[in-house]
Structure 1
Amino acid sequence: MSKIAVVSGYKPFEVGIFKNDDLAVSYIKSGMKKSLLSLLDDGLEWVIISGQLGTELWAAEVVFDLQLDGYSDLKLAVITPFLDQEASWKDANKEWYESILAQADYVDSVTRKPYENPQQFRLKNHFLINKSDVLLLFYDTEKEGSPKYLFETAKKFQEENDYEIRLITFYDLQLILEEEQQSQRDMFE
Structure 2
Amino acid sequence: MWVTGYRAYELNVFGNKDKKLPIIKYCLKQALTAQLDDGMEWLITGCDQGTDQWAAEVGLGLKKDYPELKIAMMAPYANFGNRWQEASQARLAELRSAVDFTADVSHEGYQSGRQLAAYGTFMSEHTDGAVMLYDTDYPGKAKFSYERVQNLSSSRKYNVSLITMYDLQEAATTLAEEAENGRFQDF
TM-score by length of 2: 0.95
Give me the whole-angstrom Cα distance separating, in 1, the residues matched to 2:4 and 2:32. Answer: 12
Decide which of 53, 56, 62 is 2:58's aligned counterpart.
62
For the pair 1:84 / 2:89, whether they are aligned, the reply is no
Give me the whole-angstrom Cα distance separating, in 1, the residues matched to 2:96 and 2:178. Answer: 35
For the pair 1:44 / 2:53, whether they are aligned, the reply is no
Give the AA of the match of 2:144.
Answer: Y
Give the AA of the match of 2:59.
Answer: V
Decide which of 108, 111, 118 is 1:113's aligned counterpart.
108
Decide which of 170, 174, 182 is 1:179's aligned counterpart.
174
Give the AA of the match of 1:152.
Answer: E
Give me the whole-angstrom Cα distance separating, in 2, the residues matched to 1:142 and 1:24. Answer: 19
Percent identity over the alignment? 29
The aligned runs of 1:2-151 (5 Å cut-off) are 5-68=1-64, 70-151=65-146
SS at match of 1:73: coil
In the alignment, structure 2 segments of 5+ residues that lack a partner are none
Regions of 4+ moved over 6 Å: none
Cα deviation 1:72-104 (Å, max 9, x = unaligned): 110111111100111101011001100001101
Q: How many residues in Structure 1 have an aligned counterpart in Structure 2?
A: 183
TM-score by length of 1: 0.94
Give me the whole-angstrom Cα distance separating, in 2, the residues matched to 1:10 and 1:180. Answer: 21
Give the AA of the match of 1:90.
Answer: Q
Give me the whole-angstrom Cα distance separating, in 2, the residues matched to 1:108 and 1:169. Answer: 29
Give me the whole-angstrom Cα distance separating, in 2, the residues matched to 1:92 and 1:50. Answer: 18
Query: CA shift at 1:183, angstroms?
Result: 2.2
Q: Which residue number corresponds to residue 153 of structure 1? A: 148
Give me the whole-angstrom Cα distance separating, in 1, the residues matched to 2:17 and 2:182. Answer: 24
